[in-house]
């Protein structure tokens, strides 16, 4: 098989046969594979026409199959996974073969997400979990131990935003955000990392933000402080856990269209933000999920203590909300 050059083809996720036109390198004969998140397109050469250095190929009899499963046989716990970025991460890991634990304070929504994944053929279980309550996390650990043979991956995604400008920020709002976004991450990691160690090693990914590499111009100070804290915690965890073969990295998303973002912004806000993102669009949960997948896969086996910014170049724009 030869790998197709992806020039504008957006495969429809359907299993019925249909025709598409793509381009592949000259010199190959029959067959191609087209990778897309979670799936691979296969087909056979029907006709070819040379145009300069490229060959236009008309493909018939396409079919959908699963991609190689990059985390097959592993168990992943994803916090805050009922909706938004967390749901996107859980879905992506399940697509790549992992058994997924959907841990969320909203147990009903977590179960709905798990049911969706199970309907797609994945192994998923929902557990209620308040990351600020260490006894809740202990119950999650016991549930996972009784259901799965190992825990290989932890994605600390649970987070909240509360408050306004610094002078409007209450002590209660300050504490709530730090408790969930930073202390909650410590609570989960300190109780789940020993389980990963006993498994023989694995990976932890902490979800920070571009607020953790600069500041949240549109959000409150407590959010920025918590996300900077995540970066520091990630580096120190990576240092301390390396001897146990546990890699720890951080993903820093920019503006990502989730229910939380839609709730806190107007369509006008989102359009203004989109115009200053160099890549010309808001992020999607799957963009963040793909970064997480890289960190937990064997492709990142020599990567720890790192952060990956996923923001479409947004950080280059600076304080556009203030300057406009």
Active site residues: 223
CA pseudo-torsion sign 140, 303, 158, 93: negative
Buried-state track 91-102, b at ≥16 Cβ within 10 A, e below 16: bbbbbbbbbbbb
Ramachandran region, residue 223 (left: φ > 0; alpha: ψ -120 to 50; beta: rest): alpha
Q: C-alpha distances in angstroms, 27 versus 8, 18, 48, 77?
A: 21, 25, 11, 45
What are 98's two structure tokens? 């992992």
Q: Could you give the residue ranges of the DSSP H alpha helices within 32-170?
A: 84-95, 107-119, 134-147
d(CA 77, CA 147): 12
CB count, 10 Å around CB of 169?
Answer: 16
Place of tokens 């029959």: 30
């Amino acid at each position: 098989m030869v790998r197709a050059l992806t020039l504008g083809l957006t495969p429809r996720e359907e299993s019925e046969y249909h025709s598409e036109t793509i381009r592949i390198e000259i010199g190959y004969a029959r067959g191609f594979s087209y990778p897309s998140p979670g799936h691979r397109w296969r087909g056979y050469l029907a006709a070819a026409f040379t145009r300069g250095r490229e060959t236009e190929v008309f493909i018939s009899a396409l079919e959908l199959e699963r991609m190689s499963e990059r985390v097959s046989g592993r168990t992943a716990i994803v916090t805050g996974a009922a909706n938004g970025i967390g749901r996107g991460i859980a879905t992506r890991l399940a697509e790549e073969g992992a058994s997924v634990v959907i841990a969320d304070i909203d147990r009903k929504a977590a179960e709905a997400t798990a049911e969706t994944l199970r309907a797609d053929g994945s192994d998923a279980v929902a557990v209620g979990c308040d990351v600020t309550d260490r006894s809740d996390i202990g119950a999650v650990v016991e549930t996972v131990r009784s259901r799965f043979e190992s825990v290989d991956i932890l994605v600390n995604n649970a987070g909240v935003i509360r408050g306004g400008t610094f002078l409007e920020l209450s002590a209660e709002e300050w504490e709530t955000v730090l408790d969930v976004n930073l202390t909650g991450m410590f609570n989960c990691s300190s109780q789940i990392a020993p389980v990963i160690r006993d498994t023989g090693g694995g990976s932890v990914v902490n979800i920070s933000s571009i607020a953790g590499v600069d500041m949240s111009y549109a959000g409150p100070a407590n959010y920025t402080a918590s996300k900077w804290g995540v970066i520091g915690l990630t580096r120190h965890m990576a240092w301390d856990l390396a001897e146990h073969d546990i890699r720890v990295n951080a993903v820093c998303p920019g503006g990502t269209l989730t229910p939380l973002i839609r709730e806190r912004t107007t369509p006008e806000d989102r359009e203004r933000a989109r115009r200053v993102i160099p890549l010309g669009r808001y992020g999607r949960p799957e963009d963040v999920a793909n970064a997480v997948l890289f960190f937990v896969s064997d492709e990142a086996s020599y990567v720890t203590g790192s952060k990956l910014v996923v923001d479409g170049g947004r950080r280059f724009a600076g304080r556009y909300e203030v300057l406009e």
